[in-house]
Amino acid sequence: MRADDLRAVLLVKAVEEADREGRLVPAADFVAAARAARREHPHESAMEVLLPARAQRVLPRVLDRNPAVAWLVSITREPRWIAAALFVVSLAAGFALSALDGTQTINILGFPLLGVVLWNLAVYAVLLARPSFSRAWLPSVVMRFADRAARRAHERMLADALLQFVREWFQAAAVLYRLRVARTLHLAALVFALGLIGGLYLRGLVLEYRATWTSTFLDATQVRAVLSIVYWPASLLTGVPIPGAAELDTIGRRGENAARWIHLMAGTVALFVVVPRALLAVLADLALRRATRELTPPASLQAYFRRAFSHSDGLGRAKVRVLPYAYEPSPQAATLLDERLPELLGGELAIEWEASTPYGEEDALLAGMEVAGAADVLVLLFSLAATPEDENHGTLIAGARDLAARDGRKTELVVLVDEAPYAARLAGEGGAPERLVERRAVWQSFARSRGVEARIVDFGTARA
């Protein structure tokens, strides 16, 4: 889904799910928007087409009534002014570095630009080792912006909606932020290097730089060897030869016009900073353009899609397969699950129950799932009384996740964990509420580590 479409859909979804009473947008408007989207695309049933068409009809009303929402949407887009300001600062810093010592003498052995080159080489090494280095800090930055927008909302319901929107948006669009940061930083380093080169040449036009060298430990022959290593690539690029030992001895005693050394320094910076940074910026930009066109929606959007178009014709009923594992739900639990799945998953459902699979038979269950063919939703049903184990529950969840991802019909995987058996076991024991909370957290963390969200339900009571 395109980034702008997904942003609009997730924002409308967050507001719609938080605004149960229709204070921001009446429920009838959402229904009307769904029907209008169906009329606009009468032969489409794809979520990627219908949800954006519906969201674009509702979003203007949300933005017009709530300036805080409009402000938050604006900061989720690319802030071009920040990049522009960074480029100006980088250009000025590079130009200033060319005249940092305030003299007109260049010590050719002092390598005044070596620090810039080494820093960039270190950055390239880090990128090779860990391309997504921004992953750790970007979420916290974005969430701080979300908290600020939520405080502007002055209404708890809207604040909760905004925070939920940002969480889901960043989960889906984190790759966009990483690529934008990468592209901006590469371009800033490129601009810095160009400012440095430009500063050297501009000052050389109005001032005469003198080149010299001094050393306590090196003679002219050794200096020639060192300079051959440092400036050899730039010498090939510019065609400026590196002087021999005899000429270097004269330069060390008398100095010379620094024009050729400025050419060699500029060539070195161009080779090790300008060219690689330009290439990295182009690669980041191409990846960003591709990601902007092809963002992966969060899994929760399938259920929302069914709910959003439950009043529209033409989408049909979603086929749901319920697969209990190491858990035999009671008749009451099965009945409650049938009643609540339409609310949990959205829309009209055709529910099919499979026989419970015994503990340790997860491979057979996965094989049966593949043979049985596609469904719109696969529901893995577990009991909270069981402690999740990698080789059993983990294998099943990961295998079902991979099967759903390979399915051409974009099957949604839902993990439900019934806490009723565990709550019944703990009834009357001390610390039961704390142990329930702890076991819920264990299951949720276990499923999340495999890329799935576990929903804790209670099929032993009238409502979950």
Question: What pLDDT does residue 283 have?
Answer: 94
DSSP string, 401-451: HHHHHH-TT-PEEEEEEE-HHHHHHHTTSTTHHHHHHHHHHHHHHHHHTTT
End-to-end CA distance of the chain: 32
| Cα atoms in the Cβ-side hemisphere of radius 13 Å centred on 349 | 27
Strand partners, 415: 380, 454
Lowest mean pLDDT across 135-139, 208-212, 253-257, 351-355: 135-139
Mean pLDDT of 208-237: 89
Residue ranges with strand state E in 179-316: 210-212, 256-257
Question: What pLDDT does residue 157 have?
Answer: 66
The pLDDT tens digits of the residues spanning 48-103 come to: 888 999 999 888 888 877 776 777 777 777 778 888 999 999 999 888 887 755 66
**More confidently predicted of 407 and 108:** 108
**More confidently predicted of 284 and 127:** 284
**More confidently predicted of 354 and 72:** 354
Q: How far apart are CA 190 and CA 270, in angstroms?
A: 9
Q: Coil, helix or strand for 80?
A: helix
**Measured torsion, CA atoms of residues 382, 385, 387, 393, in degrees rounded to the nearest 10:** -10
Mean pLDDT for all residues in the chain: 83
Mean pLDDT of 191-219: 86
Residues 460 and 420: beta-carbon distance below 8 Å: yes
Question: Could you tell me what percentage of the chain is helix, strand and coil, using 3-state DSSP and rounding each to the nearest 5?
Answer: 65, 10, 25
For β-strands 256-257 and 210-212, DSSP reports them as: antiparallel
Kindly report the length of the chain: 464
Q: Is 126 left (phi over 0), alpha (psi -120 to 50) or beta?
A: alpha
Strand partners, 43: none
Residues 323 and 354: beta-carbon distance below 8 Å: yes
For β-strands 256-257 and 105-107, DSSP reports them as: unpaired
Kindly list the distances between the CA atom of residue 65 and the CA atoms of 10, 69, 169, 228, 235, in Å, as whole numbers in the listed order.
18, 9, 21, 68, 64
Residues 50 and 37: beta-carbon distance below 8 Å: yes
What pLDDT band is residue 462 in, cutting at 50, 70 and 90?
very low
What pLDDT band is residue 419 in, cutting at 50, 70 and 90?
very high
Q: Is residue 463 predicted with pLDDT exceeding 50?
A: no
Rounded to a whole number of angstroms, the CA Rg of the chain reads: 31
Question: What pLDDT does residue 442 have?
Answer: 94
Q: How far apart are CA 411 and CA 369, in angstroms?
A: 12
User: How many other C-beta atoms can be found within 10 angstroms of the C-beta atom of residue 75?
Assistant: 14
Residue keyed to tokens 């300008």: 274
Closest residue by Cα to residue 11 from 75, 67, 63: 63
Percent of the chain exceeding pLDDT 90 equals: 28
Phi and psi (nearest 5°) for 377? -140, 130
Question: What pLDDT does residue 393 have?
Answer: 95
User: How many other C-beta atoms can be found within 10 angstroms of the C-beta atom of residue 101?
Assistant: 12
Q: How far apart are CA 109 and CA 354, in angstroms?
A: 77
The pLDDT tens digits of the residues spanning 370-380 come to: 766 667 788 99
Q: Coil, helix or strand for 299?
A: coil
Residues 162 and 144: beta-carbon distance below 8 Å: no
Q: Rounded to the nearest 10 degrees, what angle do helices 300-308 and 331-345 cross at?
A: 80
**Measured torsion, CA atoms of residues 100, 104, 109, 110, in degrees rounded to the nearest 10:** -20
- pTM of full prediction above 0.85: no
The pLDDT tens digits of the residues spanning 246-304 come to: 999 999 888 899 899 889 988 999 999 999 999 999 999 999 999 999 888 887 787 78
Question: What pLDDT does residue 443 have?
Answer: 95
> In order of start, what are the domains of the chain with their CATH numbers?
1-313 (no CATH), 317-457 (3.40.50)
